[in-house]
Structure 1
Amino acid sequence: MSFDAEKIRDEIVQWIRDWFEENGKGCKAVVGLSGGKDSSVVAALCVEALGKENVFGVMMPNGEQFDIDVSHKLAEHLRIESIVVNIKDAYEGIVGELAKHFDSFEGQARVNLPPRLRMAALYAVSQTVNGRVANTCNLSEDWVGYATKFGDGAGDFSPLSKLTVQEVKAVGRALGLPSMFVDKVPIDGLCGLSDEDNLGFTYAVLDRYIREGICEDEETRQKIDRMHKANLFKLQPMPTFPYEPEHY
């Protein structure tokens, strides 16, 4: 089954317009700009849907970010207003406070802290500029839990969450985005490894498994299934106690 990128582009643009008409008429779309394909495509879609004057970009390095120039170039390319909010002081402050109480603050707890701080910053910006926060996750990342709950996994509306990495790239090309924004190798920004190095398989392999159910390497298939099952909780609503008061 072929993927019609231009058709899907137009449908997402209309969906964003409709969503803002109902949920944020007159508001800006606030997008965290990482320099990667997802935030680039989301920002470009929002510009198409709402106009460049209604899209606000936020760059959130944790200290120095070697590729932040890509985010600046995207904002210039789309001609959107953007700011830099460095989360270094907030990050180091929390780490320092936790160090007073725990002998070791490492592993995923420490890795997931910056994304959660970035989302807190995005919502602070959003409330300041009368905005709505765009989620920039895609289906491939969500499928294996490659997103932080209440971090980059949060947001008010999500244009790409049903699209695989390959499909997101196709939409980016249909939007006319330069290759530097669409084809940039995704990295986690923490340990210097690419997403695919961390995952242990390529997005092309993952996307084919998602769309066609085909994964030629059995070990990889089993790994994807384990990751998908283990991370489903990130995509589900918070469980709530099903209390219903009795009526007399």
Structure 2
Amino acid sequence: MFNAEKTKNDMVKWIRDWFEENGRGCKAVVGLSGGKDSSVVAALCVEALGKDRVLGVMMPNGEQFDIDVSHKLVEHLGIEGIVVNIKDAYAGVVGELEKHFGTFEGQAKVNLPPRLRMSVLYAVSQTVNGRVANTCNLSEDWVGYNTRYGDGAGDFSPMAHLTVQEVKAVGRALGLPDMFVEKVPIDGLCGLTDEDNLGFTYAVLDRYIREGICEDEETKARIDRMHQMNLFKLQPMPAFEYEPEE
């Protein structure tokens, strides 16, 4: 049985201890999408460090239809929030790549905005003496539903070992309103929900991760295939082991 209150308290202590060792006095810099993951991480950081040491960064690519949710989270938590629009940077990079390749489409184009956003977060972090929060959860990481060096990056990761259902439970333990915890997850890249992209629900995935049960064999095979294909994202970069001759 998942104990959300105890887990929340343990996470808050872990964040506090991590900052004491790796960034005493620094701010937590959190990219805010309006979804449950960034909302829960921001709330955890507020409880661990205080609202004055949490900075929320909103990074629309032009117009973002649901950015009001992020603004409401900033107001609810009482933290500072800034908006850095990546539209011009995105258009500039796409334009330059199209000069070389004629067209620039597919997954490389889809993954460009999250990588630009992570560059922005690190620029902000270095400007304010901060540490960048990773907001991924176990369910997303399990099937590679993140962008390497994009939303998959960060300095500390509070939720990497929690499933989506567990993240939601922690959010409720933090007292976050349903509008933040239960918001339908949308990738913010191609307009589809996470579950549309994945081809199965998080509830099905979470049960398979925690209990090893997936009643639909086709879905089970899909999850296994995605997990195997994306394991490299979770592992340190392979490095050639050089041993000097004596």
Gaps of 5+ in 2: none
Q: Distance in 2 between matches of 1:80 and 1:59?
A: 13
Given that 2:29 and 2:54 are in contact with CA atoms closer than 8 Å, whether structure 1 keeps it comes out as: yes
CA distance in 1 between partners of 2:167 and 2:156 (Å): 16
**Structure 1: gaps spanning 5 or more residues:** none
The corresponding residue for 1:96 is 95
1:95-130 deviation per Cα after TM superposition (whole angstroms, max 9, x unaligned)? 000000002211110000000000000000000000
1:156 is matched with: 155
AA partner of residue 117 (structure 1): L
Residue by residue over 1:174-228, the C-alpha shift from the partner in whole angstroms, topping out at 9 and shown as x without a partner, is 0000000000000011222100011000000000000000000000000000000
Q: Does 1:3 align with 2:2?
A: yes
Matched, 1:49 2:48: yes
Secondary structure of 2:92's aligned partner? helix
Q: TM-score by structure 1 length? A: 0.99
Matched residue, 2:85 = 86
Q: Distance in 1 between matches of 2:102 and 2:88?
A: 21
TM-score scaled to structure 2, two decimals?
A: 0.99
Which aligned runs of 4 or more in structure 1 are off by greater than 3 angstroms? none
Distance 2:224 2:245 in 1: 42
Deviation for aligned residue 1:34: 0.3
CA distance in structure 1 between the partners assigned to 2:61 and 2:94 by the alignment? 13
1:121 matched residue in structure 2: 120
The correspondence of residues 8-157 of structure 1 with structure 2, limited to 5 A, is 8-157=7-156
Letter in 2 for 1:245: P
Q: Percent identity?
A: 84
Question: 2: distance between equivalents of 1:30 and 1:158?
Answer: 12
Q: In 2, distance between residues paired with 1:103 and 1:144?
A: 32
Report the CA distance between 1:244 and its aligned residue. Answer: 1.7
Look up the SS of the partner of 1:29 in the other structure. Answer: strand
d(CA) in 2 for partners of 1:243, 1:115: 34
Alpha-carbon RMSD across the aligned residues, in angstroms, is: 0.5
Cα deviation code 1:19-61 (max 9, x no counterpart): 0000000000000000000000000000000000000000000
Q: Deviations over 1:65-97 (max 9, x none)?
A: 000000000000000001000000000000000
Match of 1:102, as an amino acid? Answer: F
